[in-house]
Amino acid sequence: DDALQRCIEEAVSFRLREGRRLRVARTLLTCAAAASVLNRQHVPAESDSAYRHVNVHNPRCPLRFDADASLWRCAPELDEHPVWGINWAGALWICQQLGARLPLAHEWEAFASNNDPLRPYPWGDAAPNHLLANYDEYIGGTSPVGSFPASELGFYDLAGNLSEWCHDHYQVPGVQGLPCERVVKGGAWSKGADQLRITATRGKWQRLGTTTIGIRPVWDD
């Protein structure tokens, strides 16, 4: 619950170019915070045959249901790591329980660049290196949130560690959209340097909870 409270209280106020204001989570949602949401809402164990929100079929998934205690837990050493293994519907649901939502892709690019469309990376113009972000399998997995330098607005891990679900359907110019794919922004621990660019965009099937996608809630201010 402390992790969840920090996520909400430390959100950064940001003004979009069109004048709307958002509050944006300073970090990706941690494993401890995600477990708190699931437990507050008394979410039952996922089915062995098909998961609804949490990919319990991946043996490395940081979230596990403790049947004896009827609680979701994450390994203590992963409490401050960003949560992964949650699909798009699960990410949206968790945000809604916080009174938040997933960002739109253009909103994500706006707060990642501080409204500067020419900025290539959240930290500025410098080429990526492993002191700036967790990417290209240099560490071999996620790192605790806040392990790398923040952007000038105080956001962590906008490039690297985990990519982030956005609300939008994924569209390729000139190609019919795929209604079951959603936009994913930001790089990840296993992705190359090209994915760290603010403009880099990929799509992912919304039913999948993968090892490389996390959650950053935003609130309409």
CATH number of domain containing 183: 3.90.1580.10
Task: Look at residue 50 in the predicted model and tell me its pLDDT.
Answer: 72
**Kind and range of the H or E run holding 6:** helix 2-9
User: 88-139, pLDDT tens digit by residue?
Assistant: 999 999 999 999 999 999 999 999 999 999 999 999 999 999 999 999 999 9
Given a cut of 70, whether residue 48 has pLDDT beyond it is no
Which residues are bridge partners to 132 per DSSP?
A: none
In the chain, how many domains are there? 1
Task: Look at residue 28 in the predicted model and tell me its pLDDT.
Answer: 98
CB 64 within 8 A of CB 55: no
Given a cut of 80, whether residue 30 has pLDDT beyond it is yes
For a pLDDT cut of 90, what percent of the chain falls above it? 90
Task: Look at residue 188 in the predicted model and tell me its pLDDT.
Answer: 98
User: 197-221, pLDDT tens digit by residue?
Assistant: 999 999 999 999 999 999 999 999 9
Task: Look at residue 179 in the predicted model and tell me its pLDDT.
Answer: 77
Given a cut of 90, whether residue 174 has pLDDT beyond it is no
Q: How confident is the model at residue 175 (pLDDT cuts 50, 70, 90)?
A: confident
Domain boundaries, position 159: 2-220
For a pLDDT cut of 70, what percent of the chain falls above it? 98
Given a cut of 70, whether residue 177 has pLDDT beyond it is no
- pTM equals 0.95
Q: How confident is the model at residue 66 (pLDDT cuts 50, 70, 90)?
A: very high
Separation between Cα atoms, residue 210 and residue 163, nearest integer Å = 10
Given a cut of 90, whether residue 24 has pLDDT beyond it is yes
Instruction: Give the residue from 135, 40, 122, 46 showing the smallest Cα distance to 86.
Output: 46
Task: Look at residue 70 in the predicted model and tell me its pLDDT.
Answer: 94
Separation between Cα atoms, residue 97 and residue 178, nearest integer Å = 27
Average pLDDT over residues 27-46: 95
Residue 93 is encoded by which pair of tokens? 């649901």
**Kind and range of the H or E run holding 112:** helix 105-113
Please report, in angstroms and rounded to a whole number, the separation of the first and last CA atoms in the chain. Answer: 23
